[in-house]
Amino acid sequence: MQLGQLKIIVTGAARGMGAHFARRLHEAGAQVAAGDVDEKALEELPAGIHRRKLDVASESEVIDFVAWASGQMGGVNSLVNNAGILRDGLLVKKDRKTGEVKKLSLADWNTVIGVNLTGATLMVREVVAAMVQAETRPGVIVNISSISRHGNRGQSNYVAAKAALAANTVTWAREFSPFGIRVAAIAPGMIETPMTQGMNQAARDALVANIPAGRIGLPEDIWQAVRFCLECDYVTARTYDVDGGLSM
């Protein structure tokens, strides 16, 4: 699809990669509906981008948002499924000084799964339902997975969500192909965003030192991959690692 033909929803669009995607799409002539829990940060997006609060973990908010976005844009034919959060921690660890055994809390597990997997799934369900109802063809969905989907220490919740999202990219591509809807995914590596800027500095430095490309990634690097998935009509049912060669 040509970018100027898109009537596209971008989730997690207030900051980082999501905000970059929304701006780039708008510059390319797409109609963009941006959603995020951070309403104040959404206001910083350029005029002409439709903006509204969205908590993807809330089924009612997802349903309302997709209906609103469709009304604002005269339909919807695409989605960048970007919203995500971190609540990192070892599943079980032992304090070296006290010997106390600590466990990842159920709340931290459920919060990450709720946003990164359940929320992403709800977005796909509602956007595809809207497209099928309106008999919209063609359509395209780009899920944002992560290199962590291959497994990463201290991220059981995040890994589970991002691996499932990559697997369901295949599932959904097969399910939605009769409707003319493609589904692909991008799995970023270490990218310069507010999320990664909040990492422990020592852990961040160690990761960057192991990137063969020699630098941390930028949102523009991921945008180029997202654009490829949106524009190339022969891309579906695949997850593309965009990570500078980093292995975790």
Span 83-142, pLDDT tens digits: 999 999 999 999 999 999 999 999 999 999 999 999 999 999 999 999 999 999 999 999
Cβ atoms of residues 25 and 31 within 8 Å:
no
**pLDDT value for 123:** 98
In a domain, 188, yes or no: yes
In a domain, 247, yes or no: no
Flag whether pLDDT at 45 surpasses 80: yes
What is the sign, positive or negative, of the torsion defined by CA atoms of 156, 157, 158, 159? positive
C-alpha to C-alpha distance for 162 and 116, rounded to whole angstroms: 7
In a domain, 41, yes or no: yes
Backbone region of residue 77 per phi and psi (left: phi > 0; alpha: psi in -120 to 50; beta: other values): alpha
Q: Is 240 a catalytic residue?
A: no
We report the CATH number of the domain holding residue 148 as: 3.40.50.720
Percent of the chain whose pLDDT exceeds 90: 90
Tally of domains in the chain: 1
DSSP class per residue in 159-211: HHHHHHHHHHHHHHHHHHGGGTEEEEEEEE-SB-SHHHHTS-HHHHHHHHHT-
In a domain, 93, yes or no: yes
In a domain, 70, yes or no: yes
In a domain, 11, yes or no: yes
Cβ atoms of residues 121 and 164 within 8 Å:
no
The SS3 call for residue 65 is helix
Flag whether pLDDT at 80 surpasses 80: yes
C-beta neighbour count of 180 within 10 angstroms = 15
In a domain, 81, yes or no: yes
Q: What is the mean pLDDT of residues 180-188?
A: 98
DSSP lists the bridge partners of residue 9 as 33, 79
Q: How far apart are the first and last CA of the chain?
A: 33
Kindly provide the b/e burial profile for residues 5-23, where b requires at least 16 CB atoms within 10 angstroms of the residue's own CB. Answer: ebbbbbbbbbbbbbbbbbb
The residue with tokens 């990842």 is: 104
247 or 74, higher pLDDT:
74
The residue with tokens 């829990």 is: 37
Distances (CA, A) of 30 to 19, 25, 26, 84, 123: 14, 5, 5, 23, 19
The domain in which residue 23 lies consists of 3-242
Element (H, E) at 9: strand 7-11
Instruction: State CA 116 to chain mean position distance.
Output: 8
Task: pLDDT band for 233, please (50, 70, 90 cuts).
Answer: very high
Cβ atoms of residues 165 and 145 within 8 Å:
yes
In a domain, 248, yes or no: no
C-alpha to C-alpha distance for 78 and 21, rounded to whole angstroms: 13
Span 196-228, pLDDT tens digits: 777 778 877 888 888 999 999 999 999 999 999
Q: Which of 65, 158, 176, 223 is catalytic?
A: 158
